[in-house]
Structure 1
Amino acid sequence: MIKNILIISSDYTGHGHKSITESLLERFNENKEVKVHVVDGFSLGGKTLLKIGKTYGPITRTSKNLWELIWDVSAIKPSLVNEFIELIVKETFIKLLEEVKPDLILTVHPNFNGSIINILKEQKINIPFVTLIADLVSIYPLWADSRASYIISPTEEAKNKCIEYGVSEDKVKVLGFPVRSRFYKHIEEDQENNTYNTDIPLKCLIMSGGEGVGNMRKIAQILLDNFNCIVKIVAGRNTRLKKSLEESLVEKYGDKVEIYGFMDNIQDLMQSCDIAFTRGSPNVMMESIACNIPLVITGALPGQEEGNPKFAEKYNLAVVCENVKNIKNTISNLLENDAQKLNEIRRSQRNYSNPNIAKDIVSFILNIENT
């Protein structure tokens, strides 16, 4: 059995990779015989690569066009990205291998798949290498390196994309998208009564991932001006946005508005609300579904998030409203007939959600043969 694992994650490119890693660690830690060492892949490249990783937040907050350009250019020739990363991390990574001596390497960030496999091949190190895809549909070519021992996919859609990129079907295992256990804490044996009652104020949550992007102020104003509701807004790490929202909304709407920064206990806020407005971030979407809070997806980053809104609609996990002007009609439609459509989304989410995904992934990894 695999007993010593090296996980290559990322601390600064959004919060999703870190959250996925934490969800797996919860399950790995249940087995006292297993040791897990986690490293931020960008730290392996010293200040240069770490600085590149830290640009993700500012770029995605301020310039979607620039992010789309970066995505498109690097997707054209993924081998160049692999060679660049390999060159920068090689020396540090080899030292790390000598210290950790892992039985298996697991990556949860696309930049450290082909690059690390290159190093392992050059050094003639033959240990299982597993990739866990942290996106849902529109996956990056770097996720799909056919030399990996296995690729763990969150969806059939991502699996099909891997096969398009040339990965053999038997290497791709669809095991779901892992979410930290605290997002499932609210689950009861019988949730059939977990429905929204239109006689009480609609508790709305507006968020957009750890980086705090999106037209939050306008969405809040439309909701507060047109519905009997309470609006809670999470600005994430974007402190400037938080201050701006406090100055513009709290003064006008008083205690009908609550503004938060980055939160470690975001699940408590989710579980206290009836509906959430968010960008199509895979991690935020899956955590919301685990909390059984219907979603209104207001947009998506170019590249890795492009297919997420349609994916959510396909399984009735959310509605999509990318034009803020349509927010009023979208919510009115959800609340018609005693919130019939809103409550249908709740039921679809309960059917889709699986609290055992992280456990299943860890079980699969620990039972891979160490060759």
Structure 2
Amino acid sequence: MHIAFLYVDAGKGHITPAKALSDAALRLGHTTVVANLFETLKAPIINRMSKSNWRLMLHYPRLEAFIDPKQDSRFNARMIRFFGTHSHAPKDFKAWYDANTPDCIVVTHFLAGCLIQPIVAHLGLPVPVFEYAADVVFTPRLGINSDLDRLYICTQLGKELAMRFGQREETISICPFPLKTQMMHTEIPQKQQARKNLGLQDRFTVLLNLGGEGIGTTDFLEEVQKRNLDWQIITVGTLSSGTKLQYKHFREKYPSFPLYTPGFVDNIQDYICACDVQAGKAGANSLMESLYLKRPFLISSLLYPAKPTTQFFARHKVGWVENSVKKQVDVLQSYSGDERAQREMETAFASLPTTFDSDAFARMIVEDAEKLLRKNVADD
């Protein structure tokens, strides 16, 4: 089977699962094409706008929390559907489709529901369209479309919320989380061994994940320093220019503070294993990788697509949500000194129902596509 994986270039949250699923499909003996969704529509200006808008929202999370909920409406979904099918997009998508001839299309973004599926239906193409809800606990209203051949989401909560927004239950499948290849096929070290391998001290460790864009502040570091806590902090990722400058000033001010900034790393699993808690904005990949490796996550900046994570944590007790820096440090200071809370966290992870397996997810996609293609042949 030849499978197309389409992503939107707005952070790493959509391209990472597309690549992980493509790798899995290749391991299973299928062929794939991974493409930027807007490139298939020959829409470079919209592509740049999408990317720059997302970076802007990361710099101003309060603005994002105000704007994105208002943009996520059924009216806007209808508008995108109309302009998507009454523009040059169908012609350009058809040219891409004819050049690649996929047997099924998997879109790791909510635009599957309001853009790609309507274009495929408008053109009458005989290809299933699947949407993967990359936010794992949430599908925006823009992604709700019961004409999708399948909506995949990793959590029961995500399924419930999609149904509340109007997605028909029979179109939804709970899927495994698509882990990156290097995480699936790498030996996972114990905490002390991971620290030794990375040259870290053996003390309470917080991993700050600033996401694929590397946007953040030193407020958390300042609060830890103020309280003179015996912690070490690791910040991973390529820091944005503004964030890098803040970190430089912090280092100059507190040269003895145990702060590690390895930059972009391709062995993130080792750093997660070395930490006691991971913290940062609720990017789906960093959150789910942390849960896979059984490390609680403290969400420090709750963006609109991640809001239901609060409900997920309330249900499964594997993390916290707190926007206030002082309260963030309060939470972790309490956790670091409470062995009972740490044991309860281990128990919570043992009962977490979410599964993590990109190969199993790829097999699910292939099986669903084959069923639909056979049905279409029979109907014809």
TM-score when normalising by structure 2: 0.85
Q: Provide the rounded CA distance (Å) in 1 between the counterparts of 2:246 and 2:137.
A: 34
CA, structure 1 residues 7+328, in 2 after alignment: closer, same or farther (shift >3 Å)? closer
Given residue 27 of structure 1, which amino acid in structure 2 is its aligned partner?
A
From 253, 256, 268, give the equivalent of 1:254. Answer: 256
1:49 matched to which residue of 2?
Answer: 46
Once the 2 structures are TM-superposed, how far is the Cα of residue 204 of structure 1 from its aligned partner? 1.6
Where 1:113 maps in the other structure, the secondary structure is helix
1:111 matched to which residue of 2?
Answer: 111
1:24 matched to which residue of 2?
Answer: 21
From 11, 20, 23, give the equivalent of 1:14. Answer: 11
1:361 matched to which residue of 2?
Answer: 361
Bigger mean CA deviation after superposition, 354-363 or 128-137: 354-363
Q: Provide the rounded CA distance (Å) in 2 between the counterparts of 1:364 and 1:207.
A: 31
CA, structure 1 residues 192+251, in 2 after alignment: closer, same or farther (shift >3 Å)? closer
1:299 matched to which residue of 2?
Answer: 301
Encode CA deviations 1:190-216: one digit per residue, 9 max, x unaligned. x8999x9xx9521221123112334x4
Where 1:72 maps in the other structure, the secondary structure is helix
1:330 matched to which residue of 2?
Answer: 331
Q: Provide the rounded CA distance (Å) in 2 between the counterparts of 1:26 and 1:353.
A: 24
Paired-residue identity, %: 18
Q: Provide the rounded CA distance (Å) in 2 between the counterparts of 1:362 and 1:260.
A: 32
Task: Kindly tell me the number of residue pairs found equivalent between the two proteins.
Answer: 360
Once the 2 structures are TM-superposed, how far is the Cα of residue 346 of structure 1 from its aligned partner? 3.8
The aligned runs of 1:37-186 (5 Å cut-off) are 37-43=33-39, 44-67=41-64, 68-77=66-75, 78-86=77-85, 87=87, 89-184=89-184, 185-186=186-187
CA, structure 1 residues 335+101, in 2 after alignment: closer, same or farther (shift >3 Å)? same
The aligned runs of 1:277-296 (5 Å cut-off) are 277-296=279-298
Give ranges in structure 2 of 5+ residues lacking alignment: 196-200
Bigger mean CA deviation after superposition, 65-74 or 16-25: 65-74
The aligned runs of 1:152-231 (5 Å cut-off) are 152-184=152-184, 185-187=186-188, 200-214=202-216, 216-224=217-225, 225-231=227-233
Bigger mean CA deviation after superposition, 349-358 or 66-75: 349-358
User: Contact 1:250/1:257 (CA < 8 Å) preserved in 2?
Assistant: no
Bigger mean CA deviation after superposition, 351-360 or 165-174: 351-360
Once the 2 structures are TM-superposed, how far is the Cα of residue 312 of structure 1 from its aligned partner? 2.3
From 31, 35, 42, give the equivalent of 2:31. Answer: 35
User: Contact 1:14/1:56 (CA < 8 Å) preserved in 2?
Assistant: no
User: Contact 1:105/1:128 (CA < 8 Å) preserved in 2?
Assistant: yes
From 244, 268, 271, give the equivalent of 2:270. Answer: 268
Encode CA deviations 1:51-74: one digit per residue, 9 max, x unaligned. 122213422222334433244134
Q: Provide the rounded CA distance (Å) in 2 between the counterparts of 1:271 and 1:192.
A: 5
From 226, 240, 243, give the equivalent of 2:242. Answer: 240
Give ranges in structure 1 of 5+ residues lacking alignment: none
User: Contact 1:289/1:353 (CA < 8 Å) preserved in 2?
Assistant: no
Q: Provide the rounded CA distance (Å) in 2 between the counterparts of 1:66 and 1:332.
A: 30
CA, structure 1 residues 351+60, in 2 after alignment: closer, same or farther (shift >3 Å)? same
User: Contact 1:137/1:311 (CA < 8 Å) preserved in 2?
Assistant: yes
Once the 2 structures are TM-superposed, how far is the Cα of residue 306 of structure 1 from its aligned partner? 1.2
Q: Provide the rounded CA distance (Å) in 1 between the counterparts of 2:69 and 2:239.
A: 23
Given residue 105 of structure 1, which amino acid in structure 2 is its aligned partner?
I
User: Where does structure 1 differ by over 4 angstroms across 4 or more consecutive aligned residues?
Assistant: 191-194, 353-356
User: Contact 1:242/1:261 (CA < 8 Å) preserved in 2?
Assistant: no
CA, structure 1 residues 294+250, in 2 after alignment: closer, same or farther (shift >3 Å)? farther
Q: Provide the rounded CA distance (Å) in 1 between the counterparts of 2:113 and 2:74.
A: 16
CA, structure 1 residues 242+263, in 2 after alignment: closer, same or farther (shift >3 Å)? farther
User: Contact 1:74/1:81 (CA < 8 Å) preserved in 2?
Assistant: no
CA, structure 1 residues 36+160, in 2 after alignment: closer, same or farther (shift >3 Å)? same
User: Contact 2:137/2:153 (CA < 8 Å) preserved in 1?
Assistant: no
Q: Provide the rounded CA distance (Å) in 2 between the counterparts of 1:310 and 1:202.
A: 27
Given residue 152 of structure 1, which amino acid in structure 2 is its aligned partner?
Y
User: Contact 1:281/1:300 (CA < 8 Å) preserved in 2?
Assistant: no
User: Contact 1:271/1:291 (CA < 8 Å) preserved in 2?
Assistant: yes
User: Contact 1:57/1:211 (CA < 8 Å) preserved in 2?
Assistant: no
